[in-house]
Amino acid sequence: MIVETASEVLEKHKLCNHCLGRLFAKLGKGTNEERGKAIRFVLNMERSRKGLSPIGEPEECELCGNVFDRIPELVEKMKKASEGIEFDTFLVGSRFPEEVRRKEEALWEEFGIETGEPINREFNRELGKAFGVETGKDTSRNPDVVFIVEPYSGAIELQINPIYIYGRYRKLVRGIPQTPLPEFEDSVASIICRVVSRAFDGKCIFKGAGREDVDVRMLGNGRPFIVEVKRPKRRKVDLNKIAGEINASGKVEVLDLSFVSAKEAEEVLTKNHRKEYLALVFVKDGVTPEEAEEVARKLRGLEIHQRTPWRVRKARADKVRVKKVYEAQARWIDDTHFELHLVTDGGLYIKELISGDKGRTKPSVSDLLGKSAWCERLDVLNILDE
């Protein structure tokens, strides 16, 4: 049946061995070109037996226009397009003219072909094999780069896939925001990204798992973050060296830098974390050691109903969030100050937990004391993963 179908096709259409073999791509093993040669060979044996002249491979294939002969030339163009780009793995995609795809589909329909493979799939595979042999690079489902090839024009589009780096940062000083703000010279993101961008020769985008205020330090085990490096020209970079350069700033310290996948990066940023805080509370009307201890006792296990704080209402959806305080300990300092050591749900605004934010946070430390209280100083001690 294969030979009969092939005979019917070749009597009406001039096809190269690639396009002939591709009609039967789902049958047997080997390349389409090898399959096409074998089919043509057996067909011509039959024709010889019947005294008919052989059907040779045409000078120009009416379906593909001998596009497979252009593979060596396109490999050279791909090499040129990727000069100066560091990568180990790649994929090839192609943009075939709609006219070619329609011709192929019409051919399948004309002869009832159900075993064919689309031309772009074979072309991508064969071009990828040739490029791999020439360069020693490997194909991958998660490649460093993707070549999009226009086979007839020879145009090459190079897509350089981003790199994702996980880490945790400690903000050692007050007075710097997490991300750039006009009135601040530095930020956590800019200190980290200056080093990362230079090392990878790409654009760095910083994403923190939550954030702390400008006047709050981030200490302890650090806050998880992801940096995405877009269109990196270098990929083989020593992350320990990067950490050393960032840490030399004296303002920000990074820990546990590692390469991660896009999926792992997303999980880091969407995971909810409990947080450990140390707050210095000021009570203008005075506070006793007993009152401080009583506030901590009442806070333990307490559910807090917190409407979006007044100070961030323009940047956050105005709604009531229910958060929990898991642990609370107090240490009295003087007649107007005590420290609160807290473990809470992520997303609970601690300054407003203390002040009450004019009734938007209930209950608050001010409510529990029965007198106004303010957060004078705040540190995030740890981000708790579990």
Mean pLDDT of 303-314: 91
Output the domain CATH number for residue 373: 3.30.70.3190
What percentage of the chain has pLDDT greater than the value 90?
95
pLDDT for res 180: 96
pLDDT for res 314: 76
Verify whether residue 215 is a known catalytic residue: no
Tokens encoding 57: 């491979």
Q: Do residues 249 and 280 share a domain?
A: no
* Enclosing domain of residue 182: 163-270
Q: Do residues 122 and 13 share a domain?
A: yes
Residue that is last in its domain, among 108, 141, 160? 160
Mean pLDDT of 191-215: 97
Q: Do residues 116 and 40 share a domain?
A: yes
Q: Do residues 313 and 378 share a domain?
A: yes
pLDDT for res 251: 97
Q: Do residues 148 and 182 share a domain?
A: no
Answer yes or no: is 277 a known binding residue.
yes
Residue 385 has pLDDT above 80, yes or no: no
Output the domain CATH number for residue 210: 3.30.70.2510
**Helix residue spans in the chain (DSSP H):** 2-12, 17-22, 32-49, 71-81, 98-111, 119-135, 188-200, 239-247, 262-270, 289-299, 350-355, 365-369
Q: Which of 88, 144, 186, 213 is catalytic?
A: 213
pLDDT for res 312: 84
Residue 120 has pLDDT above 70, yes or no: yes
Q: Do residues 78 and 124 share a domain?
A: yes
What percentage of the chain has pLDDT greater than the value 70?
100
User: From the DSSP assignment, how many helices (H) and strands (E) are in the chain?
Assistant: 12, 14
pLDDT for res 386: 59
Determine whether 168 is exposed, middle or buried from the number of CB atoms within 10 Å of its CB (0-12, 13-18, 19+). buried
Answer yes or no: is 166 a known binding residue.
no
pLDDT for res 271: 87
Phi-psi region of 319 (alpha: psi -120 to 50; beta: other; left: phi over 0): beta
φ, ψ of residue 276 to 5 degrees: the values are -110, 130
pLDDT for res 315: 75
Number of domains, the chain: 3
Q: What is the per-residue DSSP string for 294-348?
A: HHHHHHTT-EEEEE--GGGTTTS---EEEEEEEEEEEEEEETTEEEEEEEE-TT-
pLDDT for res 272: 84
